[in-house]
Chains A and B, each alone.
Chain A
Amino acid sequence: MSENIIILMLTVSTFLGALGLIALLWGVKTGQFDDQSKFIDAARYDNEEDLKDAVMMEKKKKEREEKKRKDKEKKKNYMPAD
């Protein structure tokens, strides 16, 4: 067995593990594990409808941002009549 194979094995396996770790850390950071009971119950109620719901909320947020942006542009282009 050559040294290179050992290096390769170590790097690949540690890297894969690190990916999992990073995903977990991201989950902790975004508050996905804050509420234990919700974490468990979410599996019970998870269905297509909830996905749609989440999409709807995202859309709402986007629409609002869009509106804000337009409002700002309007203000920018506003010229006082003289």
Chain B
Amino acid sequence: MAEIACTHCNLKFDESVMITEEQNAKTLYFCCKGCQGVYHLLENEGLDTFYDKLGDTQLQPATQLTDDLHKFDLEGFKNKYIKVHDDGLYEINLIIEGIHCSACVWLNEKVLHKTEGVIEATINYTNNKAKVIWDPEEVKLSRIIETIRSIGYNAYPYDPTLQEERAVKTRKAYYSRILVGVFGTMNIMWIAIAQYAGYFTGMQQGFKDILNVAEFILATPVLFYSGWIFFRGAYYGFKNHIVNMDTLVASGAVSAYIYSIYAMVTQSGEVYFDSVVMIITFVLVGKYLEVLSKKNAVDTLDSIMGSTPTEVTILKEGIKSLIGIENVEVGDIIELKPGEKVVIDGVVTSGQGSFDESSLTGENEPVYKQKGDEILSGSICLDSVLHYKASKDASHSLLTSIVNLLEESITKKPHIEQLANTVSGYFSSIILIIALLTFTGWYLWHGSFETALIVGISVIVIACPCALGLATPMATLVGIGIAAKRGLLFKEAGFLETMAKSNLLALDKTGTITEGKPSVIKAKLYEGFDPALLLALVNTSNHPISKGIASYLREQNTSLESLPLEDIKSIEAKGIEAACQGKKLLGGNAALLKAFNIHIDEHSENSLFFFAIDNILVARFELTDTIREGAKEAIAKIKALGIKVVMLTGDHEKSASKVARAVGIEEVHTRLLPQEKSALINEFQTHGDIVVMVGDGINDTIALANANIAIAMGQGADVAINVSDVVLLDEKPQSIYEAYQISRRTFRAVKENLGFSLLYNVIAVPLAVMGFVNPLVAALSMSLSSLVVVGNSMRIKMLKFKNENI
């Protein structure tokens, strides 16, 4: 039977299970009622051009709506999320869920625009965040949310804390300053060409004056507007008694500027306006490259907190009531429904069920809990209703403490002093002292205040911080570019240097070293086995083991018809039971088959799955989480670089040590909760190690935030990707090794660049001190030194990788 794509969401399903509909002699197929509803809604609204824009992109099937709209109109909600404008308009920031492509954004904006009372609605393509402004007299927020839900998306509010707004503001300010800087520099450059030509061939003083004034006019806004950041930095440095790069840039630019004005007015000597704008613009661009990629910590916390329930159902004297989580007291009995996220720690009092603890341990396999077992907040109840007694209140529960820890560690990320900063600090002080000594020396020896001042200033100008300022940004920019080409996204330039200095690599197990999903490694088939029946059975379950079996069957047999099943029963934490064509099907673990008195061989260190038809065993599968390809080689190579490799996992010793042995890791830490992982990272750091942590899940998040460098897998949890510094798009362990290679090569280039610009100064500054500097030497050496730095940085591109397929 052919698979057909749903008209709305483009997901492919078997023709027999689709809802079909005839319209204008065309057959439409839908995978569910939700998709059908959305399709007709869009058609009626005249928005069906959405599907042309969508192309082949697959969407999530439109889900049935949950009935919690009333909460959006509550007073408490309004106080927390809604901003009231002076003119009575309301503003809210929403995260829209289910956006896959730009067509989705287009559709959402369109629909919101059409909603009565919505004054403004803009959605950011990059992070799917929306800002909606509406008139509360005409429309309620619940109606707006309902509109978004009606077209198959979901929206939840978030609090755009000051931090995010400030980050955007900084970026904008830098951008404007750079625009002015580049504009000024480019224009002064072509005027300066005329100046240089005149210097060689001779030029009348009248023309020279005109060019000087034009340069002066262009340089002034660049120095005071674009250069403002350096003045501010120099001022703060001065207040804290620190001489930094900003001090040198500011003093160099200002003194060159003042000297040039003096030269212009007295019509003596050459002007240096081109140097002024070049210093400011180049160093500003370098600074901007660093600001540009500053991470946004707020995003991270939004997505964790946004998905947690704010209310729980509690049972008091037999009466169910819904109360806010902050009002829950220790000892209250809480009811948990299937699919609900646990927000308060507790102990089960009645009922039993499976829990998804992947956000705590990283393991995808559900954990079975019954009366007396402890349940932790952050886990998700999968399949049954149960009651539990709160053992902690909301603020002391694990989930809240994880969020708090995360918040703390994001702001307190350990900082490694960057080489360029250290060097420029010393360099700036030395140059300023030399300039001062030169001035006094010339004044005493020559007696002329004017000459002494000019020579003193020329020392600062010739010690042009251009090359020094460009040394790091140029090299790291090239390094980041190469890394990005190889599927490694470094979020900040500075991370390359930290990574190059690191000496300890901590790896998570599930999802990082391994694939994170079980796959069949051994299958024993007995008489009477029918793959079609088994496929139908495992397709009814979302358990990772079932999925592993299903993908194995599809690989083995490409054309399997799906069979209709009856009486599907899922037996908690054991397996599935169903009937098909009069046969009784059983699929599950050893415990399930034992319950039906079927004799089996349950001796294996891997996960087992048995399949029985009419109480006769027909198949036995061994599944295990496979190790990623090339993990062993990559780890061996990383070790060869002199880096210690350790493994941190939430899994138990047995499976952890098996994986560790297979890939060659000696040090393994097992059964770690999220906060314990991060405590270990801190412990490594107190021993003086610079730690790189690689992880993929929510459970790794705090550890990632605490590590000096956090690397996340591209398919990992959003939160993990948000807190991480480097993202591995292709998820290959080999890429971790390449990240080390690139960062070390880049750091070497940074050191070379710094070394060169210092060497240049060792030669140029003495000349300036002796008063031998003329504008030609200054301009030439300035451009040359910058060019050498740029050229040396380009050499990083020649880095060779092994296993190159090109």
Contact = CB atoms under 8 A, between A and B. Distances in A.
Interface of A: 3, 6-7, 10, 14, 17-18, 21, 24-25, 28-29, 31, 33-38, 41, 44-45, 53, 56-57, 60-61, 64, 68
B124 interface: yes
B187 A29 contact: no
B120 A25 contact: no
Contacts of B125: 35-38, 41
Given A21-B180, A64-B119, A33 B175 contact: yes
Name the 9 nearest CB pairs between A and B, nearest first: A37-B125, A38-B125, A41-B102, A21-B183, A10-B214, A35-B124, A28-B176, A28-B175, A37-B126
Contacts of A3: 206-207, 210
Given A10-B210, A57-B113, A64-B135, A37 B102 contact: yes
Interface in B184-223: 187, 191, 206-207, 210-211, 214, 217-218
Given A7-B210, A21-B179, A57 B126 contact: no
A36 B126 contact: yes
Contacts of B106: 45
Contact of B105 (A7, A10, A34, A38): A38
A35 to B, nearest CB: 5
Contacts of B180: 21, 25
A70 B478 CA distance: 60
Given A35-B124, A36-B126, A64-B135, 15 more contacts: A3-B206, A6-B207, A14-B218, A21-B180, A24-B179, A28-B176, A28-B179, A34-B124, A35-B125, A36-B125, A37-B125, A38-B125, A57-B119, A61-B119, A68-B87
Given A38-B125, A64-B135, A45 B53 contact: yes
24 contacts: A6-B207, A7-B210, A14-B218, A21-B180, A21-B183, A24-B179, A25-B179, A28-B175, A28-B176, A28-B179, A33-B175, A34-B168, A35-B124, A36-B125, A36-B126, A38-B102, A38-B124, A38-B126, A45-B53, A45-B102, A56-B113, A57-B113, A57-B119, A61-B120
Most buried by A among B179, B191, B206: B179
Interface string B39-71: 000000000000001000000000000000000
Interface string B80-117: 00000001100000000000001001100010010000
A77 B113 CA distance: 34
A14 to B, nearest CB: 6
Overall SS of chain A's interface: helix
B22 to A, nearest CB: 29
A6 B210 contact: yes
Most buried by B among A3, A53, A60, A68: A60
Contacts of A41: 102, 105, 125
Given A21-B180, A68-B87, A57 B175 contact: no
B497 to A, nearest CB: 26
A63 B138 CA distance: 13
Contacts of A37: 102, 125-126
Interface residues of B, number: 31
A6 B216 CA distance: 16
B172 interface: yes
Given A37-B102, A45-B106, A60-B119, A28 B124 contact: no
B182 to A, nearest CB: 9
Most buried by B among A10, A24, A41: A10
Nearest to A33: B175
Contact of A44 (B102, B175, B183, B191): B102
Contacts of A57: 113, 119-120
Nearest to B175: A28
Nearest to B217: A14
Nearest to B178: A28
Nearest to A31: B172
Contacts of A45: 53, 102, 106
A50 to B, nearest CB: 9
A29 B172 contact: yes
Contacts of B211: 6
A15 B125 CA distance: 35
Contacts of A29: 172, 176
B549 to A, nearest CB: 39
A68 B87 CA distance: 9
Contacts of B210: 3, 6-7, 10
Contacts of B214: 10, 14
Contacts of B118: 60
A38 to B, nearest CB: 4
A5 to B, nearest CB: 10
Contacts of B168: 34
A71 to B, nearest CB: 10
Nearest to B133: A61
A38 B129 CA distance: 12
A31 to B, nearest CB: 8
Contacts of A36: 125-126
A52 to B, nearest CB: 10
A38 B118 CA distance: 21
A14 B179 CA distance: 15
B119 A10 contact: no
B53 A17 contact: no
Interface in B157-177: 168, 172, 175-176
Nearest to A14: B187
Contacts of B218: 14
Nearest to B124: A35
B176 A35 contact: no
Nearest to A49: B49
A25 B181 CA distance: 12
A40 B706 CA distance: 36
Contact of A10 (B120, B135, B191, B206): B191
B218 to A, nearest CB: 7
A44 B125 CA distance: 14
